[in-house]
Amino acid sequence: MTGIKQLTEEDRRARAEENAGLPTLGFESGTPYDDYVGTAALHRLQRTVTDVPEELAFLVTTQVMELYFGLLRSEWLLAQRQLDDDDVAAATLTIKRTVRHFEALNAAWASLSWMTPAQFNSFRDALGEGSGFQSALYRHVEFLLGNKSEVLTRPHRRNPEAYRELTEALHRPSLYDSVLALLARQGYAIPASVLERDLSAEYEPSGEVEAAWVEVYAGPLAPLAEALTDLAEQFSDWRYRHLMAVRRSMGAKPGSGGSSGLSWLERSMRREIFPELWTARTLM
């Protein structure tokens, strides 16, 4: 990386001997850690709009989630490339890794689990119309998981980069589409109506796909199926924790972004990802 002096194992060993085992304490400018992580820029991003102390926890937690959304997007795009190359082992490992990312993302809700309605209301009005519904990265994550809707790209039309990325994601295969295409290439009976469908439309479960997953579980691709199931479970957990955080802090009040709030989230939870992975279990 530009600006960072790379070290070899030999360099590190020599430095440890020179320092008699102690950490290096003197640097020509900032520390290499700060240069790499960008800590100064990172901490300048916490710009609260009120003096209410609880707002900082809300803002930091939200920003942490945004970073994880970006990480998940990058990882799933990688998994899709691996699936397209028929590298099942690599794709399975990548998806398993994102399950761990999701566990950390879900744990972030704990930083808001203490918030009472009075505490949230103390700064909520100052947030104006800002809402997590408007997160372009979260929407991209949902599209990659197969929860697609052209309507949900519209809040980002005045942000050219975000809108372009979401529009492309709307019309390209989801992670699940890439998996089903792989299964078809591997000889499983995935119907053409699924493989050639309108990728921008909401996915409709298929009995033939369900039967294919039953076969998958009896063969060498079962670990891929389980990795996807773990991922779907973590995503459901994220949505449930989101729902409970809203329920705890504001009840059934309307959302800041114009939605009905709690009932909107409840409807969203009913849209399952990778649906045949769940229904196939009844047939096994």
Q: Residues annotated in the binding site, as ranges?
A: 124, 242
C-beta separation of 257 from 129 below 8 A? yes
| Interatomic CA distance for residues 238 and 243, integer angstroms | 9
C-beta separation of 131 from 121 below 8 A? no
C-beta separation of 218 from 89 below 8 A? no
Residue ranges of the binding site for substrate: 124
Of 107, 138, 88, 96, residue with least CA distance to 231:
96
| Interatomic CA distance for residues 275 and 209, integer angstroms | 10
Of 56, 76, 57, 80, residue with least CA distance to 68:
76
| Interatomic CA distance for residues 80 and 174, integer angstroms | 8
**DSSP sequence for 170-196:** HHS--HHHHHHHHHHHTT----HHHHT
Residue ranges of the binding site for heme: 242
Amino acid at 219: G
C-beta separation of 240 from 269 below 8 A? yes
- CA Rg value for the chain: 23
C-alpha distances (whole Å) from 238 to each of 14, 232, 251 are: 46, 10, 18
